[in-house]
């Protein structure tokens, strides 16, 4: 089969060569990431249930989760949640098959609860959270017209990806992962709600971090300030793994010690005290928000992983871009991939898969065009691999 893959060279200055660059990452505890994570967890659990009982993934989109912030009274050494966080689970799912009811609400609530337990160690699920399931009902006859096994696009949409990551993108992405990973044992004071904003001017990077501190692990203001100072040193050393540029960290710049204002929480999450969140308002599928890059506004989390091109094509575009860069080695400075569908058409036959190449200085990339076309064609012909990666938790979407 000949798919409509178009490879072209473009005259464009790579992001890494531009004077200014801005990159953002909302960490796993940001309210928007909480919404994304819950929505995606529900989709994956529903998909596994459908596969186990019916042999295929049935129609669903659980991408409408909303986080409504609660109220809390944090303090050094402790604090109290006064009003719980309200979490609304919405969207659509196949709830009846051949007259048999599926326990979709039980599946959804369990998935949301397990996600919260796994990622937010200071959150009391029983006391600090209310989960309300309003996922819409839908029934299907397995012999009916709608069939995810037909692999027809359920929307006219597009996906966007690029490669490689710039130094700034690497620093921003990995800084949040480090703070919410290996550093937790050393710094239990740091909560999960962490936002990282990176700004590069030439060869200098400024990384601004908003990190929620946990009151019960932070006995007083002096301890709070000493942890901030130590983090500066630790993170500066860590950034050197990803760039040789100068990196400066700024942590919780909203603090006003003279007025006793600090970023202190009870649970390590700003959603405890009025911060709301919605699916799709945070990171793109590569885990970053990149205004200097081509991006899609599609909310991928929670959408079905079989026919929803807004989800699949965004993930696929990044995979193609990464493989293109690997194929050409240092001859490619930057690759942009855009894939667009038509509703009702086979998902492996997009209207176009556009692969744009920015060559490295002095490189001849035209000699790779056939290989690049083959890479895109191969991924499209095996697009079901992306679905498998999603269900096996081998790929993130936010």
pLDDT digits 0-9 by tens, 232-266: 999 999 999 999 999 999 999 999 999 999 999 99
Kind plus residue range of the DSSP H or E element containing 39: helix 31-54
- Say what the pLDDT of residue 154 is: 84
DSSP-assigned beta bridge partners for residue 204: 201, 246
Task: Identify the pLDDT of residue 364.
Answer: 95
Q: Select from 65, 69, 109 the least CA-distant residue to 85.
A: 69
Return all residues near 394 (Cβ < 8 A) that are at least 6 apart.
388
CB atoms near residue 55 (< 10 Å): 9
Which pLDDT belongs to residue 140?
A: 59
Write the burial class of residue 97 (CB in 10 Å: 0-12 exposed, 13-18 middle, 19+ buried): middle
In this prediction, residue 350 carries a pLDDT of: 95
Structure token pair of residue 142 = 């397995």
| Cα 211 to Cα 27: distance, rounded to the nearest angstrom | 9
- pLDDT the model gives residue 27: 98
CA distance 274 to 294: 32
How far is Cα 329 from Cα 61, in angstroms, rounded to an integer? 38
What 3 state SS string does 314-382 have?
A: HHHHHHHHHHHHHHHHHHEEEEEEEEECCCCCECCCCCEEEEEEEECCCCCCHHHHHHHHHHHHHHHHC
Q: How far apart (Å, rounded) are the C-alpha atoms in residues 223 and 188?
A: 12
Strand, helix or coil at 83?
strand
Which phi and psi angles does 152 have, rounded to 5°? -105, 135
Q: How many CB atoms lie within 10 A of CB 119?
A: 17
Domains of the chain, each with CATH number or no CATH: 5-15+154-165+292-391 (3.30.300.280), 31-144 (3.30.300.10), 167-278 (3.30.300.340)
Cβ proximity of 187 and 341 under 8 Å: no
pLDDT tens sequence for the chain (398 residues) = 568 999 999 999 999 999 999 999 999 999 999 999 999 999 999 999 999 999 999 999 999 999 999 999 999 999 999 999 999 999 999 998 888 899 999 999 999 999 999 999 999 999 999 999 999 886 555 444 345 566 888 889 999 999 999 999 999 999 999 999 999 999 999 999 999 999 999 999 999 999 999 999 999 999 999 999 999 999 999 999 999 999 999 999 999 999 999 999 999 999 999 999 999 999 999 999 999 999 999 999 999 999 899 999 999 999 999 999 999 989 999 999 999 999 989 999 999 999 999 999 999 999 999 999 999 999 999 999 999 999 999 999 99
Q: What is the pLDDT of residue 99?
A: 84
- 58 SS3 class: coil
Alpha helices in 245-288 (DSSP H): none
Task: Give the model's pLDDT for residue 387.
Answer: 96
pLDDT at residue 2 in the model = 63
Q: What is the pLDDT of residues 370-380, one digit of tens each?
A: 999 999 999 99
DSSP state of 91: S
Q: What are the two backbone dihedrals, phi and then psi, of residue 333, each rounded to the nearest 5 degrees?
A: -80, -35
């Amino acid at each position: 089969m000949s798919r409509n893959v178009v490879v072209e060279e473009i005259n464009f200055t790579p992001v890494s060569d531009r004077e200014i660059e801005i990159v953002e990452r909302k960490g796993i505890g940001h309210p928007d990431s909480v919404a994304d994570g819950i929505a995606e967890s529900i989709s994956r659990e529903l998909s596994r249930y459908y596969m186990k009982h019916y042999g295929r993934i049935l129609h669903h989109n659980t991408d409408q989760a909303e986080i409504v912030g609660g109220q809390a009274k944090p303090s050094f050494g402790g604090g109290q949640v006064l009003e719980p966080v309200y979490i609304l689970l919405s969207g659509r799912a196949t709830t009846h098959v051949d007259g048999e009811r599926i326990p979709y609400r039980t599946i959804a609530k369990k998935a949301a609860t397990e996600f919260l337990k796994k990622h937010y160690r200071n959150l009391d699920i029983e006391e600090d959270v209310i989960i309300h399931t309003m996922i819409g009902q839908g029934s299907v006859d397995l012999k009916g017209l709608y069939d995810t096994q037909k692999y027809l696009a359920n929307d006219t949409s597009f996906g966007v990806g690029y490669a490689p990551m710039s130094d700034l993108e690497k620093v921003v992405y990995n800084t949040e992962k480090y703070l919410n990973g290996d550093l937790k044992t050393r710094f239990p004071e740091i909560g999960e709600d962490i936002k990282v904003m990176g700004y590069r001017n030439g060869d200098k990077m400024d990384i601004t971090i908003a990190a929620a501190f946990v009151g019960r692990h932070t006995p007083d203001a002096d301890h709070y300030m000493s942890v901030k100072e130590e983090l500066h040193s630790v993170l500066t050393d860590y950034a050197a793994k990803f760039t040789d540029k100068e990196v400066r960290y700024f942590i919780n710049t909203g603090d006003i010690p003279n007025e006793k204002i600090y970023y202190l929480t009870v649970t390590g999450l700003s959603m405890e005290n009025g911060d709301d969140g919605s699916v799709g308002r945070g990171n793109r599928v590569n885990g970053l928000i990149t205004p200097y890059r081509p991006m899609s506004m599609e909310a991928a989390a929670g959408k079905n992983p079989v026919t929803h091109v807004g989800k699949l094509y965004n993930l696929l575009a990044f995979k193609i871009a990464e493989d293109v860069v690997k194929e050409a080695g240092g001859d490619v400075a930057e690759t942009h991939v855009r894939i667009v569908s038509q509703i009702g058409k086979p998902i492996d036959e997009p209207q176009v898969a556009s692969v744009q190449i920015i060559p490295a200085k002095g490189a001849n990339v035209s000699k790779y065009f056939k290989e690049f076309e083959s890479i895109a064609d191969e991924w499209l012909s095996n697009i079901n691999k992306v679905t498998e990666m999603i269900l096996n938790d081998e790929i993130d979407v936010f």
